[in-house]
Amino acid sequence: MQVRVNGTEREVPDGATVTELLAALGVPAKGVAVAVDGHVVARTEHDTKVVPDDADVEVLTAVQGG
């Protein structure tokens, strides 16, 4: 299925969860915030939230700086 991750089209397996999507992108599961179609997905829901086909997904990573 097709989804847009941070504005870029990506092919992901049907029925992929947020956790599976992050793994496929090579993004660590901790230290990120994820929104699917404009709704923030709680970290506790990453293992169960299925990303729908044609979804807009935003993945934000925490960055330290000074």
| Model pLDDT, residue 5 | 97
Q: Is residue 54 part of a domain?
A: yes
Range(s) of the domain holding residue 7? 2-61
> Smallest Cα–Cα separation from 18: which of 30, 8, 7?
30
Question: Residue 63 has what pLDDT?
Answer: 76
Q: The domain that contains 9 carries what CATH number? A: 3.10.20.30
How many domains does the structure of the chain reveal?
1
pLDDT at 61: 86
* pLDDT attached to residue 62: 77
Is 66 part of any domain?
no
Tens-digit pLDDT profile for residues 15-66? 999 999 999 999 887 889 999 999 999 999 999 999 999 999 999 987 777 6
Q: What is the pLDDT of residue 28?
A: 83
- Domain assignment present for 24: yes
Round to whole Å and give the CA distance between 9 and 43.
23
